[in-house]
Structure 1
């Protein structure tokens, strides 16, 4: 149930009914630092949401904030379309030196616009242009954005219905659903590709998330991803990895596909690439795919220079060595064990737990239970969201820079929220404060 904040009248009066997160978190936030937000009454909330993955380095990260303030105070360029600027040059040089070259990734860099869906739209358009084909394959429970091209490769029925028109020239396939380690099976897909009577025209590309965030923290096995990459090579299809939510270290390595050893043809990044929550996205692709004509794909806000500044600062601070990756993997093990313990300690069938790095989910048989857990967590001072096709999964995305004590605190609050939503009498003792 949505509870109106007493001072929320202007939001109720003027803001569209499409607003969503504020309905589950009925307070007015005013400031934030690190892993915590504070509302106007100065009540703190531990953030296990991280701006849907846009704040991997926490709120108002001091290193990034100092770089941004210094840049603004000297009247650095803010808006520049795709003109050459010093801030863009510095970012590109750092991205090449710190990210691309150590991983032997050959990518060209495209700035398609401010949002992740802009990066996906550019990737889809480029793949179709290169291959001169229309169809793009996507996977069940995928989420790639809310603009029409991105929606066409998104699985969620509710979101697809909002398009208002047919979403065509795409083909869904089952996401990796063999967590017990059975051999990956693309046999049916390959038969369609190779049979003269299948009726399937060869697709231009396949787009995949290595971990489906909005889809419910569904983790693809490395073997499955390698088999998919091999199928794309054999079938003359480009492989697009959408790393918008799981990139920039969320699963440990900078790119979520590194563990599998594959090299996608095209990669999309956004969310935490700016490091500070500033709008920025990248579409990366092999040099031989750079067949754009000048101005063939553009956008007003593809050159937001303050984002280049904070993105560079994030690379310099967190990615010149392997400390953040090792820390994320270690804390991921800690979260996984804690969630397993919480799930095992509950009566009845244990909720399913899955994740990688610092992206985790707990799936409940009843979607209403997942919603109740998030609502109770909010009352206790912890921000969580649901995901999955029925909102049946509680998703945990703490900042990668979260402290040990804050991580333990958040996991304890989550465990309490799970316990206190088990039955009709579970709320009698709890109250609304931690």
Structure 2
């Protein structure tokens, strides 16, 4: 039986209910707040504050950045008044509610933090005094961070381009669910309990990372590396320890410390097999391929994702194939630790030319090399060999010069067995952290929305 679908092309609205000719204002009233709590106009607890300030030369002023999607307000900069073009601005105070009248529809609002007390804003930003006898400050921050509140801001914004301006009267006339202060505090407490649990797990993950490094280095006979303050004035060193002539290099200190390892030192290029399996889009016979960029690598989780790319539109950096159990090493900004072992899922994918690739072998254990490169002794050596200003990188030739303590393969595997157990704990904690944060947000929204 053929189904029929009803289409609704027109939506009729009573003229008396139209506050604005904005499509959002007309259709955006179908917000799904719960009826469990009384509805209160925003204007009942927010009052516009227009304290003006005349910018003076020689005075330092703090200016805010309001992140979209309700990600908070941070200090943008502190600048001398002589460098501020708009001389008539407005003062903001800690605890006020601040928004961008242009980007409020994108969630650009929040509560002014302590570090921005006495800051300044232009007329494109509005600040409101908050009646905290009616609304809990944390409840206000959480409520304004929801997608429903963002929809509300959209419905109070008017304009036909990307510069939709918030209409103050419309915004302040909107009603939101406002529980009693006691109920607000209970909702906030439940949220904060989950967030605290998530933060505890995050701290545990950081502690485990430090434990891994300490254990790993101890097995090599090394102490955790700490950058030492450079000596001022005349300093003498052995020429054999000098690999780079500039003052900022820490080669000397790294070489002195790594030489204390109880295992022989080798250069990566003398032991590990680097490979280049060329990919040519003109000779590739399939329509698409899986492509891995440097940004797809997480230092703990490894390769997070690949993206399907049309061979005809292959990026110029898509130059080489990778195989299962390869080690791929991101050579741009290597201190970001964009290194990973390739899993079966990404076998025969194509990766960026920004990676150096080492294939597996019975002569070494690649997870051991990966762990060394991520530790301070590896990262400091990589940083020492970087060149370039905007995109500092290391060449494959320089990568091959990195020194590494090299126990036999059996010992490499033994060392890594405990490391892997602790890494699993870290991954589990990260997953629980994400779940708890999501659960906290979900439970808060369920308390207010249908």
| TM-score, normalised by the number of residues in structure 2 | 0.26
Greater radius of gyration (CA) = 2
Is the strand fraction higher in 1 or 2?
Answer: 2
Which structure has more relative contact order (CA 8 Å, sep 6+)? It is: 1
